[in-house]
Structure 1
């Protein structure tokens, strides 16, 4: 998985450099190196940054009639940046995607300034498109538990170890609030056996690590999978394996949840990542404080975690409207 992501990132970076003017290509190479080494961004994130800057430069090139060089970037005016945004909007690109590629272009602009290669003030002078705020859509406690319960898929014609594996992964997502990439990135040695520990070291975004508690039920689910797994789980090898023994793909977990969604009558918003949302929302609803939840989720900013407070308030209001005798007027 990691090697595939790295290869995709390299292809995206080569494509970006190939389409740029020579002086811009040299600056881009230095910027991409900074993203990988100093900021320690993952290959997937680097690939996304490279793709977004390639998009920005590509639209700018169409407007100029040639690939922009450093002089073109330095002379760029706010109206030029707005024209790029307008061109993307005309292509039907949503505001969130426009914000992302503008953020990548600004990152490149900051690199140019830090390295003394020039200033691209027009990038920061333009306000990005407004992105409508959307709240996470957590599952109910009962539905979240059902997704992680092996009994939910008992009737499927799949090998027992596969069902145990999927249940263990989903138990980690809901029980510890992991991202799916974090759960599938665990090695066998990272997971303590039942009764021999209750925490795991998780490698999150940007190479950051954090300690996360693991419930006894989750440890038991992982242990049940490990005992049933037909492959030798080496201490430094991937904990979760695919049907052929290689590292488990996130797509396999997504398809498993999709099948259960139909069986349980859940909406399309019931995804593996929704279990992480459910973890945070249910903790907050049971009295957890935002700072602690921030640390458990691995959020760099508290503002990212605060969105769950809005979700919890929304849930309380919905319950009040449904149950209070005077909540609705007749």
Structure 2
């Protein structure tokens, strides 16, 4: 479904909630260089409806995109209603995109992946604005902290991570709800948002309220401030890590005429022969890596692997890889994601370098 509107923006009342949301939107637009066409991901909930209303006034022409995950009965009607509300608020276009949600990583993760893929497909070079609020940020930081997922997870969400924009990270969820009431808009209440079967819902409805009570309030704001500070620190570490990666990188060796057979030494054991494209992979100097602080070294390794298409690393992976540099005891390599049906990718220590090798997969039959 798609719909277009030729009229202008609806005049917004100057209530306290409206002004807070508009200010967040205005500051985001100014930081990105001024008004320009944008896409807004619209669920029909209060956060995204408030974002649409503010974007129509403060940004350039707004196209609302409603992703219908088709996980609940009547989801199509909910999506169409949200699109109609967007047009009534002054969007130049409103599009409903039905998607198929898989099961990889659980329903919540699969729905998120399908949603982002749909938004990417229709954005046509425009930034996509998402209605995440300060409360969402606090929940994200707390979840990352509880799972021990490392510094990146407790940096929370960035206001701009191209092409994704989050103008409302300084706005409370209660303010978006109040803004919708001030505008006479009835948002959709997703039943998933109160389903205790989802970990995030329990953090929202049980953990954060308890922390607010025990610590005397201000917890959500404190968690959001922590995320901002860690993101600033992380940017510095990322710069240092990139410098380290460049200085430690050894370019791929010239292709050999015969299959590589690793030389065994008394101090290092490389247990695999060459696999597909191994000669095309850059290596990292152990000597140079070992001189760097662990926090910088692990980030450099993450970037090095990402450039080879290897992502989705857990802290356990990075710790084990780091021990190949800092605590070498003759241990074998560390299996990472990627590879093929016939080979899996393994980070190994080889002749004074970290390298990625393709190890034949064991036949389970």
So what's the TM-score if we normalise by structure 1?
A: 0.27
Larger Rg: 2
Structure with a larger share of its residues in helix: 1
Q: Relative contact order (C-alpha < 8 Å, sep 6+): which is higher?
A: 1
So what's the TM-score if we normalise by structure 2?
A: 0.25
